[in-house]
Amino acid sequence: MIRIDLDDTFDATTASEDLKRFTFNSELKDNTNLELHVLISEHPDPLLPNVFNLAFGPLGEDNEIDDAIAVRHKNINKVFSTILLFAITFLEDNSDKQYSIGIDGSDERRAYLYHRMFRYNNDTLMDSIVTVGVDWYVKLLRNGTDIERDSDGLPLFKPRPEPFDLNRKARDLYRYYMFSLNN
């Protein structure tokens, strides 16, 4: 369980002028230090102009963030608190623009972690951010049995956002998570 405490965060070692890129050091369980990079980037879909992606992790051999690598942090709570603080800083700096940060819940492990983090830290986080969960819905056709399908015959699902339901348990994950500044 991730416990967020925005008063207990690592210091940033670097921060880009646009507040989209940060680095900080995390101490690992083997007592070594690992530099972590945080990157807030525009969602690549031009139809989602005010949505940003959040990526974090060490640099891989290709000098890109490796967010899939398993890392044994000594203080995972502090790591996530730090990452969220950076994200909140970016949102606060753009508070006039209604930006939001999105997290794809298609990775089951990642969605489980974020769902529990947002659910159990809501009291702490709502001082700074509000969270929305997105489900996929499909239209029921008028014959009452068929659903709307695309040209490949697959269900034509559409996104439906709602305020994060705190009563919704982690076995009922959203498909996408988004948060924005609470202003």
Partner 1 sequence: MRQTVQNKITNLKALAKGSISNSIAKRSNRIVNDNLSKSIRTERDAKIFRKELSIAFKLAKE
Summarize as ranges the residues that interact with partner 1 (CB under 8 A): 6-7, 9, 12, 14-19, 21-23, 37, 39, 41, 43-45, 47-48, 50-51, 53, 55, 57, 59-60, 62-68, 85-86, 88-89, 92-93, 98, 100, 102, 104-106, 127-128, 130-132, 134, 136, 157-164, 175-176, 178, 180, 182
CA distance 79 to 81: 5
Least separation, in Å, of the C-beta of 144 and partner 1? 24
Least separation, in Å, of the C-beta of 112 and partner 1? 16
- H/E stretch holding 124: helix 122-125
Q: With respect to partner 1, which residue has the nearer C-beta, 58 or 146?
A: 58
Q: With respect to partner 1, which residue has the nearer C-beta, 26 or 128?
A: 128
Q: With respect to partner 1, which residue has the nearer C-beta, 30 or 45?
A: 45
- Alpha-carbon distances of 79 from 16, 25, 69, 162, 168, rounded to whole Å: 19, 9, 15, 28, 25
CA distance 104 to 115: 11
Least separation, in Å, of the C-beta of 77 and partner 1? 16
Q: In what order do the strands lie in the sheet with 157-163?
A: 14-15, 21-27, 33-42, 51-57, 100-104, 176-181, 129-138, 157-163
Least separation, in Å, of the C-beta of 182 and partner 1? 6
